[in-house]
């Protein structure tokens, strides 16, 4: 995932919190190595090297791809881990098949959120009641009843804060079409294969970080109008950063 992650844990037993922090950090690194499409040693790369044939994968990756598939259906195809090329999952054999020779898995639009949620599960299982995790400053998970103040910066003018919110027991994800200085977006519309043209950004609050990330990616790709209509049917909050 090549991003900096931060783990803030609240409690009294420093030795315990440090041990939990190490465990969460190791889990995030493990998932990053597994889901990277750039590392030749990753599971995702192993799948990507074998398009057009069923590849046996472990249950962890399989259930993540099922989540992606669910996300694709819910977002009308605007979130697509294959960029619109398609995949087939076989639950009994625990295999994934990329349907076209050029198809590749790219979990970039979900990996950080998924890693944060896995970290969150560990944190809860070790009895830490209040925590904030962030990855790449675009994905956040707040755990517990405490509110964490979050400032959202304008992607085009990073010194300008466009919103401040109090995040409590929610996942957050921010997607921008392009960062300051970039002329074209690396986000593509899975239906057309073309880079999206807008210079806007959006952020989504959801029950977990994985869902927030699926939706922030999809919403930006589908555009504000369609996004607002779709999000109205979900347990989500959507904010648009207009230029």
What is the SS3 string spanning 13-78?
A: CHHHHHHHHHHHHHHHHHHHHHHCCCCCCCHHHHHHCCCCCCEECCHHHHHHHHHHHHHHHHCCCC
Of 2, 4, 15, 181, the residue at the interface with other proteins (CB under 8 A) is 15
Choices 14-22, 75-83, 174-182, 196-204 (CB under 8 A): range interacting with other proteins: 14-22
Q: How far is the CB of 22 from other proteins (least distance, A)?
A: 5
Residue 80, both tokens: 């697509």
Q: How far is the CB of 2 from other proteins (least distance, A)?
A: 14
- Give the helix/strand (H/E) hosting 131: strand 130-135
* Contact (CB, 8 A) for 103 and 84: no
Please identify, using beta-carbon distances, which residue of 121 and 154 lies nearer to other proteins. 121
**Residue 127 sits in the site that holds other proteins (CB under 8 A):** yes
Residue 93, both tokens: 């054999």
**Residue 194 sits in the site that holds other proteins (CB under 8 A):** no
**Residue 38 sits in the site that holds other proteins (CB under 8 A):** no
* Contact (CB, 8 A) for 160 and 154: yes
Of 20, 68, 116, 231, the residue at the interface with other proteins (CB under 8 A) is 20
| Tokens 């977006």, located at residue | 185
Choices 52-60, 64-72, 134-142, 185-193 (CB under 8 A): range interacting with other proteins: 52-60
Site for other proteins, rule CB under 8 A: 13, 15-16, 18-20, 22-23, 39-43, 45-46, 49, 56-60, 94, 125-127
């Amino acid at each position: 995932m090549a991003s900096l992650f931060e783990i803030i844990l609240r409690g009294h037993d420093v030795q315990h919190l440090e041990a939990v922090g190490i465990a969460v950090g190791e889990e995030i690194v493990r998932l990053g190595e597994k889901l990277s499409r750039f590392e030749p040693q990753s599971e995702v790369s192993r799948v990507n090297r074998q398009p057009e044939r069923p590849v046996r994968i472990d249950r962890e990756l399989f259930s993540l791809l099922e989540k992606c598939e669910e996300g694709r259906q819910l977002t009308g195809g605007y979130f697509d881990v294959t960029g619109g090329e398609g995949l087939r999952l076989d639950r009994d054999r625990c295999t994934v098949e990329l349907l076209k020779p050029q198809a590749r898995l790219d979990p970039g639009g979900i990996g950080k959120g998924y890693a944060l949620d896995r970290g969150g599960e560990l944190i809860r299982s070790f009895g830490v009641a209040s925590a904030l995790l962030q990855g790449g400053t675009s994905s956040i998970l707040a755990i517990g009843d405490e509110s964490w103040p979050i400032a959202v910066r304008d992607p085009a003018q990073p010194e300008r804060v466009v919103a401040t919110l109090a995040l409590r027991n929610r996942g957050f994800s921010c997607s921008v079409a392009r960062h300051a200085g970039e002329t074209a977006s690396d986000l593509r519309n899975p239906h057309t294969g073309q880079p999206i043209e807008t210079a806007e950004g959006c952020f989504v609050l959801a029950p977990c970080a994985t869902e927030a990330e699926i939706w922030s990616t999809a919403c930006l790709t589908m555009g504000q109008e369609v996004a607002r209509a779709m999000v109205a049917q979900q347990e989500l909050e959507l904010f648009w950063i207009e230029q």
